[in-house]
Chains A and B, each alone.
Chain A
Amino acid sequence: MTEIQSILLRLWDSFGLNIRLFGLTLVCALPLGLGIAFLSMSRVKVIAWCSKTLVWVIRGTPLMLQVLIIFFAPGLLNLGAPWGSGASARFAAATVAFIINYACYFSEIFRGGILGVPIGQQEAGEVLGMTRAQIFYRVTLLQVIKRILPAMSNEVITLVKDTSLARIISIKEIIMMAQEYTAKGLIWPLFSTGLFFLAFVGLLTLLFNYLERKLDYIKV
């Protein structure tokens, strides 16, 4: 194996961390975000207020700061070691921070999407004797997805790139790995990381375009 190949292979390995962080965040933050959206729209004022305050705080502070706090705070506050130790602890802490952060962003997108569906859709379901759950899953949800797809696609692409922030707690994601080579005087690995991101975002863009085409038949 040439040196170039072995460097690319190590970069690819560390990009696996970015992709895992991305995947875990997406899978958990989507449902959590939907939950937070419902809480923000709750008729119980206290619940709505708490939920909106959480969203405000999380969206109003840097993700990098949140990662640091979630990783270091338990130790500094003598709360034991919820994240365990070593590399896996750092990864767990980063994942939790990312999930909370993105759930809050997603929740606002969901909320906008749900409020955007005309009330007449809900009422039509009601007078047809559907239950609330039936109305949500059978009538509203797909229309919400259709409406939020463009905003979601933006947010998801941002998430891909944000995964690099995990390096702030020494997670060896791809850019951190490339910097090790920069320190040794090799600059091209750093540039090449951009290609990894470009390729991955390209795939996601294709996926979102496909989804948008799939939902083209819904005119909302």
Chain B
Amino acid sequence: MPILEVRDLHKSFGRNKVLDGISFSLDQGATLAVIGSSGSGKTTLLRCLNFLEQPDHGNILVNGQTIFDAKDAPMLTEHSKRQKRFHFGLVFQSFNLFPQYTVLKNITLAVELLAKGQAGKPDFTGIETQARDLLTQMGLIDKEAFYPYQLSGGQQQRVAIARALALKPEILCFDEPTSALDPELTGEVLKVVRELAQKKTTMVIVTHEMAFARDVADHVLYMDEGRIIEEGSSEQVFSQPAHERTKQFLSRFSGGSA
């Protein structure tokens, strides 16, 4: 059984149809890369998975359980939305770290708030220990007392990844995690994402880094105008794309960094 299943997702903004019947599934421990030109709906897809946007139609299933059904959406309470969010984590293009907190607090804040809301005494020491482990994993253990503005973009993005991981999401989503970075800083971020893939973290990665997608992803979706034009193993999509549009899209990138 796939860990994530998306069925016939539709989303419009006014008359602009942004997702036009998106269906795919993802296995536990697999890495999915979503590629496609600007405006094809990649961000919107991630935002739908993370309940930042509400699809007009379709279902989202995690571990075989329907966590979103557009038919029931009007009844969705703030509380149940929050519960369902915990299946997913999202790393933003622009990091969105909290400027008033240190690196460590950025990572622990949500976990602490969650623990406070639950029965029993919150284990703050345990939460901090876990956060430090994540920082070590991100290669940032010496930065725990820093504020976000004191870090480079690449370091900030790694903190954001640690922050998302701290809640132990089943599926971690990335929206172009390196697009806001100077070219020389993308490597350090891609490196930790690659390590996560090796550890079998289930991930959905929207990216324009074709070489990286080819290298890291088990599975690739190519989106255009709100539809999935092509999907398959990364080998298949990158080496033998079946569709003309995929070929054109990929050829635009082959001259560049890929």
Contacts and interface: CB of A to CB of B under 8 A. Distances in A.
Interface of A: 118, 120-121, 123-132, 134, 138-139, 142-143, 146, 217-220
Range of interface residues on chain B? Answer: 20 to 34
A126 B92 contact: no
Given A134-B113, A217-B147, A128 B167 contact: yes
20 contacts: A121-B96, A123-B92, A124-B92, A124-B96, A126-B52, A127-B50, A127-B51, A127-B88, A128-B167, A129-B82, A130-B113, A131-B82, A139-B98, A142-B100, A143-B99, A143-B100, A218-B99, A219-B99, A219-B147, A219-B148
A122 to B, nearest CB: 9
Contacts, number: 60
B114 A118 contact: no
A127 B78 contact: no
A125 B83 CA distance: 14
A120 B147 contact: no
Given A120-B92, A134-B113, A219-B147, A127 B99 contact: no
Interface string B76-115: 0010001001101110101011111000000001100110
Interface of B: 50-52, 78, 82, 85-86, 88-90, 92, 94, 96-100, 109-110, 113-114, 147-149, 163-164, 167
B89 A124 contact: no
A121 B164 CA distance: 14
A126 B148 CA distance: 19
B92 A121 contact: no
Contact of A120 (B51, B86, B96, B164): B96
A127 B85 contact: yes
B110 A130 contact: yes
B82 A127 contact: no
Given A127-B52, A143-B100, A218-B99, A120 B94 contact: yes
